[in-house]
Copies of this chain bind each other. A is one copy, B any other.
Amino acid sequence: MSFETLDALRDLLIQMPGPDATALAAAAERNGQLTKPPGALGRLEDLAQWYASWRGTPRPSVDAPQVIVFAGNHGVAARGVSAFPPDVTAQMVANFAAGGAAINQLARTFGARMDVVPLELDRPTQDFTQGPAMSEADVVAALRAGWDAVDAGADLLVVGEMGIGNTTSASAIAAALFGGTAEDWTGRGTGVEGEALALKTAVVAEALEMHADMRDGLEVLRCLGGRELAGMAGAIARARAMRVPVILDGFIATAAAATLAHTEAGALDHCVAGHQSAEGGHARMLSTLGKPPLLSLELRLGEGSGAALAIGILKGAVACHSGMATFAEAGVADG
């Protein structure tokens, strides 16, 4: 199963599998029998049952989480929208490969496999204030790179990104998908303030004027995205096809994911929000998507870092659900 055009991917998104209602019912029944007062594990209980429903078993485990970091370069970076120069994208890819970045430490802490997928770093996307960021062939290639990067044995997926200039891309995508102005969605990214923030906002406004008429989320992704955003979207779609649950990361990863939900409603039902980023627009994005974050620790790094941190929460939730004794097993009076 794969795709060679955006229309073929649109067709695939319509045919994606849903959660397993039988597994969900059995997991809910088990949850009610565990040695704790009803509801005392709060959101962990919902999280474990949601995970069970996608894995198709009432008593699942999280054994093979995978973190994939996609990297890409952006033509719009030449407009001076980032506090860092574009060379940093490739330098950080080398840092990921050497194990020196934050996401490497977090993946290791939570027992996740980590893959890095640099996407044509020497060929930045077109400046989207001048025309579409990518041709159909370019965006399909990046989506497929994401689709193909998901490990066949993964049972949980986190996708992250590195790409100087990509909060500008994500801001433009958010405004195009959710409405509102450039000001509503443009934030400081890696540390842009004052005049530089005003410039970044103006660039997003230009982009929205240039691309006023996009038919759906995938077209928004093509016109305003970057290769690493398309890679993330492709991986999230593949995870859905495999019934692998996904923990969403911050502003940029969520914008990339939202292009799927704005192509086919429900396309993110297999996703939870790992955290709420300090990037201003993220809270609004999550609330619009109906995804309350698991964590809110003022992270604004990207790389998949906030989602990787939330792997621990999901592991804890699933460990309680699947490992606890029932009242009957433990000989505990249930109230």
Contacts and interface: CB of A to CB of B under 8 A. Distances in A.
A78 interface: no
A155 to B, nearest CB: 15
B324 A278 contact: no
B298 A95 contact: no
Interface string A83-125: 1110110011011001011101110111000000000000000
Contacts of A152: none
Given A100-B330, A333-B87, A335-B84, A319 B105 contact: yes
Interface of A: 34-44, 83-85, 87-88, 91-92, 94-95, 98, 100-102, 104-106, 108-110, 190-191, 278, 294-301, 305, 308-309, 312-313, 315-316, 319-320, 323-325, 329-333, 335
Given A44-B309, A108-B323, A110-B312, 12 more contacts: A36-B101, A37-B190, A40-B301, A41-B305, A42-B299, A100-B329, A101-B330, A102-B320, A109-B319, A190-B335, A308-B316, A312-B313
**How many copies of this chain?**
2
Contact of A319 (B100, B108, B300, B330): B108
17 contacts: A35-B95, A35-B102, A37-B84, A37-B301, A39-B191, A40-B190, A44-B309, A84-B335, A91-B331, A94-B330, A95-B332, A98-B325, A100-B323, A106-B316, A106-B319, A109-B316, A309-B316
Q: Which 4 A-B pairs have the closest CB atoms?
A: A100-B325, A312-B312, A42-B298, A40-B301
A298 B46 CA distance: 11
A329 B100 CA distance: 9
Contacts of A298: 42-43
A31 to B, nearest CB: 12
A333 B305 CA distance: 20
A71 to B, nearest CB: 13
B104 A323 contact: yes
A41 B102 contact: yes
Nearest to A326: B100
A102 B31 CA distance: 12
A278 to B, nearest CB: 6
Given A316-B110, A319-B106, A333-B87, A325 B43 contact: no
A128 to B, nearest CB: 23
Nearest to A322: B105
B297 A313 contact: yes
B333 A88 contact: yes
A191 B37 contact: yes
Contacts of A335: 83-84, 190-191
A100 B324 contact: yes
